């Protein structure tokens, strides 16, 4: 009951804070015509101030699309990864020597938060998310999502496990947990704030990170006491200190990142479609949610599917690690469609927008631009 109350408080307080702190202005740069980043041809594409559209005009200089693994690919985010590793090393060392579960919980919470923040700062370097959503707003969203985790996802999953059973729980976990993570971003969107596609990506990542922090901290309490959910009967992880530490470190770096990648994908798809198409984009937004929910459930169900077949289970467990880079690539593909013009050629080429829809405009002077098509390009403030 105490955890449920804490979850409710975090959900309400975090959502209220995120709403009160919501940005009221436009992101940078403003609308204009820029060299088309999705093409090597000499043409321009319309940037509407929030994301790339489908209108293109011939002429102008080809876009400089940057080089791989250069520009803003590397940066201070690496230091946050190192900080997470240091915290986990120090905290788990203390836990091994003392057996204090609260030490493990605090270590998991801080280490998970730092690693999630490292990824967010990496994405920020590619998309300039700070233009449309501030760190304090992200903290509020993450806290609200952590509260939703404790209040909604934890209780619903526990009820399903206690009733229909673990197999049903792994089949429905995608719907339950992805729905929980999208709860706060969708409420804020419905309240009329954070509608910029990049703000949506920021909220999705923050919500996923909040969920990951709450879930990882919960596991820090349940693994040592052998009360964590068991997929195939018996103990999920041996409660000795070495096994628990290994499981937590694996969760921080290889398992929990899927949470913010899944939610980031769903928000990147939904916010872009709603921005460009309005209500007509809802079907695509729902399809994006269904995609990540199904992948999430298949990921968990693959464990219960091979109970009693240890060799197959081990092989699937190894193959599942390919899901992390695969989900990153899907997230990147959708997120980069909103990369601002002033960052094109300054980020890694892997983050350059590609496969954008194209509709040729025949107007001599594009609407909303002071530069005739084929004679120049729009302007953008420096970052």
3-state secondary structure 24-75: CCCCCCCCEEEECCCCCCCEEEEECCCCEEEEEEECCCCCCCCCCCCCCCCC
- Secondary structure E strands in the chain: 32-35, 43-47, 52-58, 359-360
Q: What is the predicted pLDDT for the residue at 28?
A: 54
Which of residues 75 and 185 earns the better pLDDT score?
185
Which of residues 227 and 354 earns the better pLDDT score?
354
Q: What is the mean pLDDT of residues 333-344?
A: 92
Q: How far is CA 285 from CA 265, 282, 291, 298, 355, in A?
A: 10, 5, 10, 20, 18
Q: What is the mean pLDDT of residues 320-344?
A: 93
Question: Residue 196 corresponds to which tokens in the numbers above?
Answer: 């910029």
pLDDT at residue 376 greater than cutoff 70: no
Alpha-carbon dihedral 238, 240, 243, 249, rounded to 10 degrees: 120
Q: What is the mean pLDDT of residues 181-193?
A: 96
Element (H, E) at 229: none
How far apart CA 47 and CA 29 sit, in angstroms, is 9
Pairing mode, strands 52-58 and 43-47: antiparallel
pLDDT at residue 271 greater than cutoff 60: yes
Q: What is the predicted pLDDT for the residue at 234?
A: 58
pLDDT at residue 65 greater than cutoff 70: yes
Nearest to 46 by CA among 381, 365, 383, 382: 365
How far apart CA 148 and CA 152 sit, in angstroms, is 5
pLDDT at residue 375 greater than cutoff 60: no
Q: What is the mean pLDDT of residues 48-70?
A: 85
Nearest to 350 by CA among 331, 322, 372, 371: 331
pLDDT at residue 250 greater than cutoff 80: yes
pTM, to two decimals: 0.90
Q: Does residue 165 come out as left (phi exceeding 0), alpha (psi in the -120 to 50 range) or beta?
A: left
pLDDT at residue 27 greater than cutoff 70: no
Q: What is the predicted pLDDT for the residue at 363?
A: 52
Q: Which residues of 173-199 are buried (b: 16+ CB within 10 A; e: fewer)?
A: bbbbbbbbbbbbbbebbeeebbbbbbb
Residue with tokens 């009360």: 227
Q: What is the mean pLDDT of residues 183-212?
A: 96
Averaged pLDDT of the chain = 88
At 132-157, the pLDDT tens digits run 999 999 999 999 999 999 999 999 99
Q: How far is CA 51 from CA 7, 28, 275, 309, in A?
A: 35, 11, 8, 48
Terminal alpha carbon distance of the chain: 48
Q: What is the mean pLDDT of residues 51-68?
A: 86
pLDDT at residue 370 greater than cutoff 50: no
Residues 152, 4: contact at Cβ < 8 Å?
A: no
pLDDT at residue 49 greater than cutoff 50: yes
Angle at 138 between CA 74 and CA 8, to 5 degrees: 140
Handedness of CA 297, 150, 203, 349 (dihedral sign): negative
Helices and strands per DSSP (H, E), number in the chain: 12, 4
How far apart CA 77 and CA 72 sit, in angstroms, is 10
194 CA to centre of own chain: 15
Which of residues 19 and 23 earns the better pLDDT score?
19
At 68-114, the pLDDT tens digits run 766 677 788 999 999 999 999 999 999 999 999 999 999 999 999 99
Q: How far is CA 43 from CA 61, 248, 352, in A?
A: 7, 50, 16
Angle at 252 between CA 139 and CA 115, to 5 degrees: 45
The pLDDT > 70 percentage for the chain reads: 91
Q: What is the mean pLDDT of residues 370-379?
A: 42
Nearest to 112 by CA among 80, 137, 139: 80
Q: What is the predicted pLDDT for the residue at 55?
A: 93
pLDDT at residue 210 greater than cutoff 90: yes
Q: What is the predicted pLDDT for the residue at 160?
A: 95
pLDDT at residue 383 greater than cutoff 70: no
Q: What is the predicted pLDDT for the residue at 25?
A: 52
């Amino acid at each position: 009951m105490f955890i449920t109350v804490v979850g409710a408080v975090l959900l309400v307080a975090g959502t209220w804070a995120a709403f009160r702190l919501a940005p009221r202005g436009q992101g940078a740069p403003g609308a204009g015509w820029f060299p088309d980043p999705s093409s090597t041809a000499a043409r321009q594409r319309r940037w509407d101030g929030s994301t790339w559209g489908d209108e293109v005009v011939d002429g102008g200089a080809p876009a400089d699309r940057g080089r791989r693994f250069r520009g803003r690919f590397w940066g201070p985010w690496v230091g946050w990864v190192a900080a997470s590793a240091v915290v986990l090393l120090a905290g788990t060392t203390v836990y091994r020597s003392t057996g204090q579960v609260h030490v493990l919980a605090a270590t998991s919470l801080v280490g998970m938060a730092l690693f999630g923040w490292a990824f967010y700062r990496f994405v920020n370097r590619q998309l300039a998310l700070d233009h449309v959503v501030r760190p304090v707003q992200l903290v509020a969203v993450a806290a609200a999502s952590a509260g939703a985790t404790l209040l909604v996802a934890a209780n619903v999953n526990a009820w399903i496990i206690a009733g229909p059973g673990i197999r049903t729980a792994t089949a429905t976990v995608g719907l339950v947990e992805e729905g929980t993570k999208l709860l706060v971003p969708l409420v804020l969107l419905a309240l009329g704030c954070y509608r910029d596609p990049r703000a949506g990506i920021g909220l999705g990542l923050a919500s996923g990170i909040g969920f990951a922090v709450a879930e990882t901290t919960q596991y820090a309490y349940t693994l040592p006491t052998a009360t964590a959910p068991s997929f195939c009967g018996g103990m999920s992880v041996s409660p000795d200190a070495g096994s628990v530490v290994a499981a937590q470190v694996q969760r921080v770096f290889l398992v929990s990142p899927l949470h913010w990648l899944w939610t980031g994908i769903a928000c990147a798809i939904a916010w872009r479609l709603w921005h460009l198409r309005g209500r007509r984009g809802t079907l695509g937004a729902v399809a994006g949610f269904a995609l990540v929910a199904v992948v999430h459930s298949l990921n968990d169900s693959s464990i219960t599917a091979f109970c009693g077949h240890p060799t197959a289970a081990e092989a699937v467990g190894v193959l599942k690690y390919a899901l992390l880079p695969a989900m990153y690539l899907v997230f990147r593909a959708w997120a980069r469609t909103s990369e601002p013009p002033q960052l094109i050629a300054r980020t890694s080429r892997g983050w350059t927008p590609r496969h954008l829809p194209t509709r040729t405009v025949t107007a001599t002077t594009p609407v909303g631009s002071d530069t005739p098509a084929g004679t120049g390009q729009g302007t953008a403030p420096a970052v």
